[in-house]
Amino acid sequence: MAAQLKGRGYRLATIKHSKEFHFEAEGKDSWRLAQAGCTTVHLDSPQRLAIVEQLEHDISLEVLTYRTLGRFDLMFTEGFRKTGAVKIKVHRSD
């Protein structure tokens, strides 16, 4: 579905909530810097950007959505079961 929407010109985003999050590979520079006390690590290349922040508590779906307003036409979310957000289930024929 996302590929079809992208093909129609929509700008898409995804916000996924997970109980555990391991982004930096142990021993790599970004991992060592985070271990040394950096609370935010930006990883970028010519094609991608990732921002990893240490948090003291969960950020709400509303706050995460607000951070991305205006940059995307549609936003997919996953894992925010305890929110009051409207849910749409997509089923594949296979």
The pTM of this model reads 0.64
Do residues 29 and 51 both lie within one domain? yes
Tell me if 64 is assigned to some domain.
Answer: yes
For residue 11, what are the β-bridge partners?
none
User: Per the structure block, which two tokens stand in for 12?
Assistant: 């898409």
- Grouping H, G, I as helix, E, B as strand and the rest as coil, residue 77 is strand
Count of domains observed in the chain: 2
| Residue 77 pLDDT grade (very low, low, confident, very high; cuts 50, 70, 90) | confident
Q: Amino acid identity, residue 58?
A: D
Say if residue 49 is in the same domain as residue 62: no
Q: Which domain holds residue 75?
A: 1-17+58-86
Question: How far are the Cα atoms of 5, 42, 82, 85, 89 from residue 39, in angstroms, in the given order?
Answer: 35, 10, 27, 29, 35
pLDDT digits (tens, 9 = 90+) for 1-40: 889 999 999 999 988 888 777 777 788 888 888 889 888 8
Q: Which residue has the tokens 């950007």?
A: 49
